[in-house]
Structure 1
């Protein structure tokens, strides 16, 4: 089965990079701080980063004491940036889809992934491989689009608004219809995969993991003062983060 590699599309890549470079983007405000809050003490550990992108996280893992970091990504464009801007003797970058992590040698103390699993069709298959890749008592930490977001597949407006255009509430539909969603973001035909919260949790526990913590980040008062539009997240958090232990 061909793996989706939308990040090597030039239009998508440039659009995505522009968003990540913008001050006050949701990744910097919410997803990254939440992800790093779930990390254990990394001193002397080995870390496998699934969907490592530009490699910023890999460098930060080394800065936090990791002795070995392997970052894999399906995107050649992403890895070009990673090798150029975020190289380190302790980091190895590999051009590899998440679904093929059995090709990475050795086991790891921490497997981590930032905003990649909503692009993965066979979530259970990857979870089983991650379990096998972890050392005893190792942990698996990941973020993904919140299922309230992945359920959206077009056809209806995402928001109901008042006469002044203010968002009143989210229109939720087809939440229990799991599977592929196709959307447009910079380019058409982006495939994401929707799973209910219960499916995500049960897939982890049925394959040997113990759930330690979940986070759905929402804005603080300080963030709202600077970026009042982020109040939307009280209607629907953008992200779901989970820390699980082997």
Structure 2
């Protein structure tokens, strides 16, 4: 099992104090995921929004702990942070992971390149007002039966986001992608869809028996909120 080492001088390092405890929570969680999935210290925008917020990521950048890259962020001086003794092994894992992710994203975009009627134009119809989290909580009476055979489309998900989808109880990522497309007129990748689903689930109250159904209902009742989340984060495919 890979580990994300932290220096014992870290707690009172000037950069850490400048970033603040909340941002360092994002830093630590992202670091662990980078080690687990051999990303080379790179954290995608989707992953940031699943673990925290853009505001916290910007604080890490300002403090000099992260740098901005195309599609997300990267840990400053990752090799030193990850441990020099494993640099050669990690490089090989990183190269494989990057090649696999690039092929997956390219295949997804090619499959959806010919889709008609999906644009990034603003929604012209006035959707229903955004409900409060309690309005979206599904009672036992309103929960429909879910086909247990439905599974996450792992072929279009990065390993990290696949794990997060499973933890959140998302049984069909393609269904979330289609719900977002239907209600917001935004086309997003499966990784982004998982991030949005987790964002919506974080607002729920209590234990949800059917997280997938909760997310579908939240998207249909709060399309402007989801659309804004996509636009502000630059997450449209």
Q: Whose Rg is larger?
A: 2
- TM-score calculated relative to the size of structure 1: 0.22
Quick check: which one's strand share is greater? 1
- TM-score calculated relative to the size of structure 2: 0.22
